Amino acid sequence: MGGNKFPEVQGGGSLILAWQVRNKHVLVIGGGEVAAGRILNVLNADAHVTVICPSSGLNPEVRHRIQTGQVRTHINRSFQPADLDPPGVPDMVLCAIDDPATSSQVYKLCHERRIPANIADVPPECDFYFGSVHRDGPLQIMVSTNGNGPKLANIIRRFIAGRLPGNAGRAVERVGLLRRKLRRVAPGMEEGEKRMKWMSRVCESWSLDELCAMEEADMEGLVEFYKEGRVPKLAELRGESEGAEEDETVVGFDGAFGWW
């Protein structure tokens, strides 16, 4: 056999994941500008947030989140080690304070208790990093520099976002609804690989405009073709053309859809 057909390993990276923290308890230590950004990130992910910071250290945004009830609990004092003890053990800790000694103590305590922690601006004391995120409805694109250059990550993220079509988020919404309908048609675990390959073919053969234009009736008609493994075009589904040609592109599964 000639040549290695497998991807080369590139060490030194991070495992970039979409971490589901919905209804999880996230503890934020600090109340300044960096803490405000962290709080917004986890609120966008529907977490339950506790903030530990003296009231005098709260910036206007963090104060607003507390006063409007977006932050569930505000502890008006500095961090204490007992804040990580039962019964209020957090699922995640985000530390954003200008106190290196306390920050290191927080990380050490979290490490001992196996609580994932991020210590702002101290990459060696982070179990995970925050990237620069573009958000359009369900579409999220994160750029990470693995702690090397947060500002550069922001510049690259804006560069990418500026080149995305305006309807990308809407297309993702419609594809998500189609996937749920397909799951009802073919619910078995044994159908998993076939479902993903078929959905990949839909995404490859339909344009973003077609995906955005897909209505409930179109989806109901489209999933009827799943069993025979065919992906008709939108025009054919609507009876606007006879036997519209199907894109025969063979799509390899890359894990992007997840096992559902």
Catalytic residue (choose from 46, 91, 99, 121): 121
pTM: predicted TM-score of the whole model, two decimal places: 0.80
Q: Is the pLDDT of residue 255 over 60?
A: no
Distances, alpha carbon 154 to alpha carbons 35, 108, 157, in Å: 17, 29, 5
- Reported as a single tens digit per residue, the pLDDT across 213-232 is 999 999 999 999 999 999 99
- Catalytic annotation on 99? no
Query: What residues pair up with 31 in beta bridges, in sequence order?
Result: none
- Reported as a single tens digit per residue, the pLDDT across 149-190 is 888 999 999 999 999 999 999 999 999 999 999 999 999 999
Distance of alpha carbon 163 from alpha carbon 160, whole angstroms: 5
Distance of alpha carbon 243 from alpha carbon 175, whole angstroms: 23
Q: At 49, list the tokens.
A: 């947030």
Distance of alpha carbon 231 from alpha carbon 42, whole angstroms: 38
Q: Is the pLDDT of residue 197 over 50?
A: yes
- Which residue, among 179, 204, 207, has the nearest Cα to 191 in the 3D structure? 179
- Reported as a single tens digit per residue, the pLDDT across 95-125 is 999 999 999 999 999 999 999 999 998 989 9
